Structures are given as structure tokens and as C-alpha cells.
């Protein structure tokens, strides 16, 4: 590679050996994590439209702003359905959301959708739940699922950085899209251009995704190093104050009155979340989160005891920079700011990142074939994965009213892989010697 090749917009001359090493590392990480990276990117893109998917899956009750008293009625109705150790309610903040209430206790977890009056309907959105869970944990048990997803995010971030380092001309050629060559060259052009055009988005979502996924590992490490293994002290600035434990029965305070006090403390704020730990006891704790629409951090947390007295705040919107960054990271990762236009942009950029993750291995396989090392079985398996996963998700969505979504997805993906392998072997067997 000569100096003329590497001079681009002030980009320093890169030694050929460095570029080759970066490209080799880029390929190695892509091959090791490519399948899971593609799965996480695809499901993350779909998950951005979580509100719309829930409305399609369960259109009734219709989305509507809760009337006065609806929140209290919905919480009371949920607690009347069985003993609960925890309850949380998520208020609608967009026209496509509905008030949802969930409880957990000895008999498991129950989730409901409330109408404008606070009347409850059991929540049934199995496909949406599966897709979001697949994106965040790969449906693996805690904390291992989120930890693996964090590692995948870190691997994708390294792919993005090594991809930039291994292509010194990538910024100079950012707007030179050439689609008149061979199929492999066209795919490589799209791969490189989409990588550059979406670079800020790619870095933002992969960095925040890696941080979320590796959060448990980071907490355990900090606790071991600085707090003698006391994880509770590490979480203290995030989880807020805890009232004294007391299992004596006590009536639930007026939740809507508490919410009104919280929103009044932040002009222009609106309710997002209510969480009640140990409800109907004197040791219960009520957490109210109100959103700040003009700020990237999602909102401010207010904590109350069983009598409705404020006992503390989690200043995610007005506190230290670290707390604000922690709260804003979730908004930045999922595009939950700026309304539907921002989320539609996230869908387009997420689709581009999904294509980049899929085409990277396709390009590597084509280059191997050009060097005289074709890998037909690997190519067929990768083709079956990149087309089979979205097909299996679509089949799972269509059959979700009657069949288990996880089982449909796994069976469909497995059948496509086996079918592709069998057909490929038959074609190889029939080739003339």
C-alpha cells in the first residue's frame, strides 16, 4: 500500500502490516461471534417497535390515556387477584402505549393491560416478549444471558473499530458507492459504506449494549475490589433508600396522590413507572419514576414509605453525571427519545447494522473461494442462518396465537439448517467426478 493510497482527509499513513493485522483480527472476531451478533442486531432492530408490535398482537383494550382514578383502580385490582411481593405499573407516555400492571409472588408473575377506567385484561403478547427477551438475554437464565449479550456487544464494538482501522480509505470513500462490479464487490461496497454512514449510531448502541450486558460482572468486580464483596453498597446509589422491614398489614396509600406530588416536584414531568415492594405491609416501599421529556436521562425516581412519606430520591435526571449517563444510556440504546421519528431512524440504522453483520462473513467466504479455499458447507449454513432467522421469527409471529413462540422459532431454525445441509450434500453427491 503506497502513500497515495493512504492519504485521505488527514488520515495518517498506516503500515501495511498493521492494516493486515487489524483485518485478520476483524475476521477472527467476526467468525467467532458472527451468528450471535447477527441475531442480536436483528432482534434489536425489531424490538425498537415494541409498542407497535404489542398493539398488533393484542389490540384491545385500545390505547388511551388513563382517566383520574384508573391507576389506583388497576393497582387494587391486580393485588386482589392474589398475594404479591412486588408490583409495578408502567404508564403510557406515547399514543401507542397502554397502562400495564404486573405482579410477582408465590404463584408466579402476572401481567395485565388496563383500559382508561383501570379495568384489567390479562396481557398476552408472546411474540413481542420473546423477541425482546431474545435480544436482551438470548432467553438464557440470569445473569448468564445478559452477560453473553454483553460479550457480544463488546465483540461487535471491536469489529466496528477494527473495521475502521483495517480500511485506511474508508472515510475518503464514504460517498463513493460503486455498484457496477461483481456481486462480491457490490456487497463489499455496501458493507463498507453502511459501516461508515452509521458509525456514530453503531458505536452508541454497541457501547451501551455492552455496558448493560456486562453490568453484573462490573458490579461484582467493583464489590470485590472496593467493598469487600458487598454488592448492596455498589447498588445503593441506584436502588435508593430502603425502609425498615415490617410485615404487619397496612392499607395501600393513595398512589395517584403520591404521583401528583412527584410530578409537581419536576415541572413538565409525567409519570412513567410505579413500583411497590411488599405491598399492603407497613414495610412497603413505593418508587415513582417521572420522565423529563426535554432531557436524555429517562427521569427522576422518588421513594415513599407505606404511609406516603417521601424517604429519598434517585437523581437520575438532576444528580451526578454518572447517574445521568446511566439513565440516558437506556434511552440512547433503544431510541426511546424524540418520539416515533427517532425510532424509525433507529429501525433503518439497525437494519443497516444487521446487513453489515451478515455481509461481513459472506464477503470473507467469497474471498476464501477466490483464494482457492471454498467452504460450501459453511456458506450454506450461513445463508440458512441469515435467511432462516427472520423467516423463523415471521413464522413464530404468525403461529403465536396457537403455538409456543420459542419452540416454533427453534424448530423452524433447526429445520432450515438441516434442510439446507441435506440439499447441499445431495447436489455435491450428484456432481460428475
What integer pLDDT is reported at residue 9 of this predicted model? 45
Residue 219 and residue 356: Cα distance in Å, rounded? Answer: 32
What integer pLDDT is reported at residue 428 of this predicted model? 61
DSSP structure class, residue 118: -
The residue ranges of every structural domain in the chain are 60-125+213-334, 375-433
What integer pLDDT is reported at residue 18 of this predicted model? 73
Q: Identify the residue whose cell numbers are 456514530.
A: 200
Cβ count near 361 (within 10 Å):
21
Residues of the chain with pLDDT under 70: 1-14, 174, 181, 219-220, 222-224, 226-238, 293-294, 427-433
What integer pLDDT is reported at residue 5 of this predicted model? 42
Model pTM score: 0.88
- Of 361, 358, 362, the residue nearest 350 (C-alpha): 358
What integer pLDDT is reported at residue 294 of this predicted model? 64
What integer pLDDT is reported at residue 230 of this predicted model? 61
Is residue 64 within 8 Å of residue 265, measured between CB atoms?
no
CA atoms within 13 A on the CB side of 252: 24
Residue 96 and residue 275: Cα distance in Å, rounded? Answer: 22
Amino acid at each position: 500500500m503506497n502513500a497515495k493510497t493512504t492519504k485521505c482527509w488527514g488520515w495518517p499513513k498506516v503500515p501495511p502490516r498493521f492494516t493486515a493485522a487489524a483485518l485478520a483480527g476483524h475476521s477472527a472476531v467476526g467468525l467467532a461471534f458472527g451468528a450471535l451478533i447477527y441475531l442480536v442486531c436483528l432482534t434489536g432492530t425489531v424490538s425498537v417497535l415494541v409498542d407497535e408490535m404489542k398493539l398488533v398482537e393484542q389490540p384491545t383494550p385500545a390505547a388511551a390515556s388513563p382517566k383520574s382514578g384508573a391507576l389506583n383502580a388497576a393497582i387494587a385490582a391486580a393485588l386482589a387477584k392474589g398475594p404479591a411481593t412486588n408490583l409495578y405499573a408502567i404508564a403510557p407516555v406515547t399514543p401507542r402505549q397502554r397502562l400495564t400492571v404486573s405482579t410477582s409472588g408465590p404463584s408466579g408473575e402476572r401481567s395485565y393491560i388496563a383500559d382508561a377506567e383501570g379495568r384489567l385484561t390479562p396481557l398476552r403478547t408472546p411474540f413481542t416478549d420473546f423477541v425482546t427477551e431474545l435480544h436482551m438475554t438470548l432467553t438464557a437464565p440470569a445473569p448468564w444471558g445478559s452477560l453473553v449479550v454483553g460479550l457480544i456487544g463488546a465483540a461487535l464494538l471491536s469489529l466496528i473499530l477494527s473495521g475502521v482501522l483495517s480500511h485506511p480509505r474508508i472515510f475518503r470513500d464514504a460517498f463513493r458507492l460503486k455498484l457496477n462490479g461483481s456481486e462480491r464487490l457490490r456487497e463489499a461496497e455496501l458493507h463498507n459504506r453502511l459501516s461508515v454512514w452509521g458509525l456514530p449510531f453503531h458505536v452508541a448502541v454497541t457501547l451501551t449494549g455492552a455496558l448493560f450486558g456486562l453490568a453484573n460482572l462490573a458490579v461484582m468486580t467493583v464489590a470485590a475490589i472496593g467493598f469487600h464483596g458487598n454488592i448492596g453498597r455498589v447498588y445503593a446509589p441506584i436502588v435508593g433508600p430502603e425502609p425498615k422491614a415490617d410485615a404487619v398489614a397496612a392499607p395501600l396509600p393513595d398512589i395517584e396522590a403520591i404521583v401528583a406530588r412527584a410530578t409537581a416536584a419536576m415541572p413538565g414531568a409525567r409519570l412513567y413507572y410505579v413500583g411497590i415492594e411488599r405491598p399492603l405491609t407497613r414495610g412497603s416501599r413505593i418508587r415513582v419514576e417521572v420522565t423529563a421529556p426535554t432531557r436524555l436521562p429517562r427521569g427522576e425516581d422518588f421513594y415513599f414509605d407505606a404511609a406516603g412519606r417521601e424517604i429519598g430520591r434517585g437523581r437520575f435526571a438532576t444528580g451526578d453525571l454518572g447517574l445521568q449517563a446511566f439513565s440516558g444510556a437506556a434511552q440512547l440504546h433503544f431510541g426511546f427519545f424524540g418520539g416515533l421519528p427517532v425510532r424509525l431512524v433507529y429501525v433503518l440504522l439497525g437494519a443497516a447494522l444487521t446487513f453489515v453483520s451478515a455481509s461481513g462473513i459472506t464477503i470473507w467466504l467469497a474471498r476464501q473461494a477466490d483464494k482457492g479455499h471454498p467452504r460450501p458447507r459453511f456458506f450454506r449454513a450461513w445463508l440458512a442462518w441469515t435467511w432462516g432467522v427472520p423467516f423463523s421469527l415471521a413464522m413464530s409471529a404468525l403461529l403465536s396465537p396457537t403455538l409456543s413462540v420459542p419452540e416454533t422459532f427453534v424448530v423452524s431454525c433447526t429445520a432450515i439448517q438441516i434442510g439446507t445441509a441435506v440439499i447441499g450434500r445431495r447436489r455435491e453427491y450428484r456432481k460428475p467426478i
